[in-house]
Homo-oligomer: A and B are copies of this chain.
Amino acid sequence: MRQSREAKAVTHQAIVAAAARQFRERGIEGTSVGDVMRAANRTHGGFYRHFDSKEDLLVAALGRAFAEMLEVVDRGLSEVPAEQALGSFMRSYTAPERVEDVAGSCPVAALSNDVLRSTEVVQAEFGRGVRAMIRSLAEHLDGPEAEREARAARTFAMAAGAVMIARASDPETAERVLRAVRDEAASLASPPSRTMA
């Protein structure tokens, strides 16, 4: 049964939303087109009216997941003074609710290893998201332009790394690693802070 343009757009968004969650939750290979369509309350056959392939869907899902994440980060940092931005980011990125909510979390922490093994098209979209993330973080800092981006990139790498390690480890190990980077967050509260050394 044919549906209207608007109905199709709604379906399209429902598919992307379901995919964005499932890819993060179950990984790329662990996510089937059929399951995504079921989660979107559709049958699997209609899928190819919206996307050329699973890869095509993945690109759209990544775009959406990064957009969600950027909004959360931007909102979270908008009220925070520049000196506390990195510490604040680190604390919220490594917060227990965030670590546990894989399906709704940062695509970098949920899908890096999957995207590594994916196509260039997917990696290009991923890279776009990473740059947007770093830029957004850097905009909330002060100091010389080049330095800000480097600091943002380092903090982002540390936060994402810690969350990935924590999620893949047993609870005690996870807690140890998260505690270590949260302590860093505390010292990042007042600049110029000192870190790993």
List residues of chain A with CB under 8 Å of any chain B CB.
26-27, 29-30, 86, 102, 108, 110-117, 120, 123-124, 126-128, 130-131, 134, 149-151, 153-162, 164-165, 167-170, 172-174, 176-177, 179-181, 183-184, 188, 191-197
Verify B162–A126 contact, CB threshold 8 A: no
Please give the count of copies of this chain that the complex contains.
2
Verify B195–A197 contact, CB threshold 8 A: yes
Residues of chain B with a CB closer than 8 A to A30's CB: 29, 117
Verify A127–B158 contact, CB threshold 8 A: no
**15 CB < 8 A contacts A-B:** A26-B117, A27-B113, A29-B30, A112-B113, A124-B170, A127-B170, A150-B180, A154-B195, A157-B181, A158-B196, A160-B164, A161-B164, A164-B164, A192-B194, A194-B195
